[in-house]
Structure 1
Amino acid sequence: MKSNIDKLISEKGYQKKFVAKQVGVSPTQLSLWISMRNFPRADKLFKLAQVLNCKVDDLYEYEEEK
């Protein structure tokens, strides 16, 4: 699996600190989601997608193992 959160934040021209505040988490927590060392709860996934104006499916991408 691959995180697209960082790319989506950049495409919107937002700062990570702003996005974290809108979602209701710390910037550190957002960084953990981006690096995939931790994953958001379902309610935070939907809030993050709303802030980034995308679908929840857009936040992460499944990669086939070779």
Structure 2
Amino acid sequence: MKSRIGELIDAAGYKKKYIAKELDVSPTQLSNWISGRSYPTLEKAFKLATILGVKVDDLYE
């Protein structure tokens, strides 16, 4: 499953550092989600989707 998190963050105009802080995760952890090396918990995915104004399904292709 390919992550669209990075492109959605960029499209929303947020800095990745800001998103990591809002989700209470390290920038490295966020980077891993963006690259598909790991995935957020369901709770973090819902919070990320809310911040970005998208559905959780939109975070992945």
The count of residues paired between Structure 1 and Structure 2 equals: 61
The amino acid that maps onto 1:8 is L
C-alpha distance in 2, partners of 1:43/1:23? 10
Gaps of 5+ in 2: none
Say which structure is richer in helix: 2
Query: Deviation of residue 37 (structure 1)?
Result: 0.6
* Two-structure CA RMSD over aligned residues (Å): 0.7
Q: Which runs of 4+ in 1 moved over 6 A?
A: none
State the TM-score, normalized to the length of structure 1.
Answer: 0.87
State the TM-score, normalized to the length of structure 2.
Answer: 0.94
The amino acid that maps onto 2:42 is A
Query: Deviation of residue 24 (structure 1)?
Result: 1.3
Q: Is the 8 A contact 1:23 1:51 kept in 2?
A: no
The structure having more radius of gyration, on CA atoms, is 1
Say which structure is richer in strand: 1
Provide the identity percentage: 61
